[in-house]
Amino acid sequence: MEDDEYEEGMEMDMGGHQHLQHRGYGAEEEVEGGYAGGGDGEDEEEEARDEEEITQEDAWAVISAYFEEKGLVRQQLDSFDEFIQNTMQEIVDESADIEIRPESQHNPGRQAEFAETLHKISFGQIYLSKPMMTEADGETATLFPKSARLRNLTYSAPLYVDVSYRVVKKGHDCEEVTETAEYPKVFIGKVPIMLRSSYCTLFQQSEKDLTELGECPYDQGGYFVINGSEKVLIAQEKMSTNHVYVFKKRQPNKFAYVGEVRSMAENQNRPASSMFVRMLSRAGAKGGSSGQYIRATLPYIRADIPIIIVFRALGFVADKDILEHICYDFSDTQMMELLRPSLEEAFVIQNQQVALDYIGKRGATVGVTREKRIKYAKEILQKEMLPHVGVGEFCETKKAYYFGYIIHRLLMCALGRRAEDDRDHYGNKRLDLAGPLLGGLFRMLFRKLTRDVRSYVQKCVDNGKEVNLQFAIKAKTITSGLKYSLATGNWGQANQAGTRAGVSQVLNRLTYASTLSHLRRLNSPIGREG
């Protein structure tokens, strides 16, 4: 495939580039050396010159060198390249194999030759070609941004994936027969390409070549061409995930302080699971000022759970063990006193099974056996609570320490040793650029594609037809899904809840500066509140 050659060529080109630069720098150093080494008497001068302060001019030299190399829209390009080079393959890899068992149609008199058959489809390596267009007569040609703009086309590159299709037949005598068919490089859709990114035809072209291709050498790229119009993805601001925040509640309120963490595992893309740890206000507690209980919310559990019960459910039963995870210094009497009411509250629950049952009882399912409830609670603690710490087995210790840390931060704030967090501080914000935005969209579309493949193959298998993967894989899903979102700016599937509007906008070409400004803009989605 010409891809690989193209990539190798690219690397060589880059290598050559770096080479030239190094030679350039080296030459300058030699010249300086020549000045310095005029005679022995000048050694001291050289030392003195080494100790000179860094001047403003030097700083500007560094700054201009930085922008010389990086350009002003590097944040867009890097983000997109990361999406193409890593994220897409990760999304394909994390999708589970499609397994299909035939739903047997009842036909009497025929004895099946095999006890059961299993059809498995799995996706492998993905490939991205150069941006292409297909003419009306079916001819394909390389697409350049200029012709895409002029002819109202979408500047996108075809995406291929290796598919392997296995049929496992189990005989009546328990022996297995496996038939495997490999389909290399099946077309699964087109991905719009960001101009001047490393998969664009304009990547690292000289000024002369750019002018010949009808591109402005001063144009920075960093946008897409969708149906002939230039679209920018605006960076979306959000609260940082996997970070503990403690906020003081405006009184009068049931709670005095709230600690929250929006936990999201690095590799899985599910919506963040929030966890809140709340400290009740003094007056709110029953029996006057008997103390400040601390409660935690767990995902899918209706009621707030006292924190000590959560620790016992994680397998930390002794009070001393629990306190070690929260209050790192036992001589800190103030903090220990704040924890006393919580310990007394959970005094009745003294082992892990009872604690798990307590949590399970407050779960979604009602009227199941105790074993089921305990299993349900275990699952939730393992998979749903703080998934970024780990979702596998044996993460209980790590989770307990992190949970203890959340409570520790809450208590520090309650004791007035730490200020509450500032939810408007830029350190607590993260920006979703083109990469993560397209990643979320691609994941959703790829899932839809696999669902369609599954239902098609299921139909074929049930009716005893041959399975044709070319028909099963609808390339239109990914192509039109990405195109729709970039064209309209509605991020997500059409007429579906939870779609954001205005993520992609038409690039402002009023002046050169306005274009640059638009490419570096960010959006803070504000809810409908105040």
pLDDT digit string, tens, across residues 291-307: 689 999 999 999 999 99
Q: Is residue 68 part of a domain?
A: no
Is the model's pLDDT at 16 over the cut of 50?
no
Do 257 and 377 share a domain, yes or no? yes
Do 260 and 323 share a domain, yes or no? yes
Q: Is residue 50 part of a domain?
A: no
Q: Is residue 344 part of a domain?
A: yes
pLDDT confidence band for 438 (50 / 70 / 90): very high
498-516: average pLDDT: 95
* H or E stretch covering 262: strand 255-263
Which pLDDT belongs to residue 527?
66
Strand partners, 165: 121, 181
pLDDT confidence band for 5 (50 / 70 / 90): very low
Which pLDDT belongs to residue 286?
52
Do 304 and 392 share a domain, yes or no? yes
Which pLDDT belongs to residue 287?
45
Is the model's pLDDT at 330 over the cut of 90?
yes
Which pLDDT belongs to residue 107?
58
202-210: average pLDDT: 96
474-493: average pLDDT: 95
Q: Is residue 57 part of a domain?
A: no
182-209: average pLDDT: 97
Which pLDDT belongs to residue 108?
55
Do 103 and 228 share a domain, yes or no? yes
Those residues with Cβ within 8 angstroms of residue 517's Cβ, 6 or more apart along the chain or in another chain: 508
pLDDT digit string, tens, across residues 378-405: 999 999 999 999 988 899 999 999 999 9
Residue 484's nearest CA partner among 445, 443, 454 is 445
The span from the CA of 308 to the CA of 55, in Å, is 58
503-515: average pLDDT: 98
Do 227 and 249 share a domain, yes or no? no
CB 414 within 8 A of CB 338: yes
- DSSP codes of every residue in 347-412: TT--SHHHHHHHHHHTSS--S--HHHHHHHHHHIIIIISSTTT-SSTT-HHHHHHHHHHHHHHHHH
pLDDT digit string, tens, across residues 166-181: 999 888 788 888 999 9
Those residues with Cβ within 8 angstroms of residue 287's Cβ, 6 or more apart along the chain or in another chain: none
Is the model's pLDDT at 56 over the cut of 50?
yes
478-484: average pLDDT: 97
Do 302 and 391 share a domain, yes or no? yes
Percentage of the chain with pLDDT > 90?
Answer: 73
Q: Is residue 65 part of a domain?
A: no
Do 365 and 281 share a domain, yes or no? yes
pLDDT confidence band for 498 (50 / 70 / 90): confident
Which pLDDT belongs to residue 490?
95
Those residues with Cβ within 8 angstroms of residue 397's Cβ, 6 or more apart along the chain or in another chain: none
Number of domains in the chain: 3
Do 355 and 464 share a domain, yes or no? no
Those residues with Cβ within 8 angstroms of residue 146's Cβ, 6 or more apart along the chain or in another chain: 213, 214, 215
Q: Which of 28-32, 168-172, 307-311, 524-528 reaches the highest mean pLDDT?
A: 307-311
Q: Is residue 61 part of a domain?
A: no
Single-letter amino acid code for the residue at 276: F
DSSP alpha helix (H) spans, 117-242: 145-150, 207-212
Tokens for 88? 């897409």
Tokens for 21? 């630069």
Domain of residue 84 covers 74-233+433-523
In terms of pLDDT, which residue wins out, 20 or 124? 124
CB burial readout 400-435, b (16+ within 10 A) else e:
bebbbbbbbbbbebbeeeeeebeeeeeeeeebbbbb
Which residue, of 399, 429, 459, is where some domain finishes? 429
Q: Is residue 49 part of a domain?
A: no
Indicate which CATH number applies to the domain containing 352: 3.90.1110.10
How confident is the prediction for the chain on average, in pLDDT? 87
51-77: average pLDDT: 93
Secondary structure of residue 320 in the 3-state scheme: helix
Do 200 and 113 share a domain, yes or no? yes
Pairing mode of beta strands 255-263, 273-280: antiparallel
DSSP 279: E
Which pLDDT belongs to residue 494?
79
270-284: average pLDDT: 83
Which pLDDT belongs to residue 368?
85
The pTM of this model reads 0.83
Q: Classify 243 in phi/psi space as left (phi over 0), alpha (psi -120 to 50) or beta.
A: beta
Is the model's pLDDT at 32 over the cut of 50?
no
Do 172 and 296 share a domain, yes or no? no
Do 26 and 90 share a domain, yes or no? no
Q: Is residue 529 part of a domain?
A: no
Which pLDDT belongs to residue 12?
44
Which pLDDT belongs to residue 53?
86
Do 261 and 399 share a domain, yes or no? yes
Which pLDDT belongs to residue 291?
67
Q: Which range (77-86, 110-119, 511-520) has the least confidence?
A: 110-119
Gyration radius of the chain's alpha carbons: 31
